Amino acid sequence: MTLSTSIHIVAHATEDVPKILQKINDVFSIPKEKILVSSAEGHWGNEISLIKADCGHKESKVLLERIISNLKIGEKKFLLQSISNSFDEKDNFYIRLNKQSMCKGAISLSEHDSIRIRFKAIKEFNQNNKFRDHVMSLFTKK
Q: Stretch 110-135: mean pLDDT, rounded?
A: 82
Tell me whether residue 50 is in a domain.
Answer: yes
Q: Stretch 59-78: mean pLDDT, rounded?
A: 94
**What pLDDT does residue 118 have?**
97
Domain of residue 80: give its range. 3-135
Q: How far apart are CA 139 and CA 134, in angstroms?
A: 9
Residues 6+ apart with CB under 8 A from 17: 11, 37, 49, 51
pLDDT greater than 90 at residue 55: yes
Tell me whether residue 140 is in a domain.
Answer: no
Look at the chain and report how many structural domains it folds into.
1
> Global pTM?
0.90
CATH of the domain at 29: 3.30.1440.10
Tell me whether residue 142 is in a domain.
Answer: no
Contact present, 78 and 69 (Cβ < 8 Å):
no
pLDDT per residue as tens digits for the range 11-31: 999 999 999 999 999 999 999
pLDDT greater than 60 at residue 113: yes
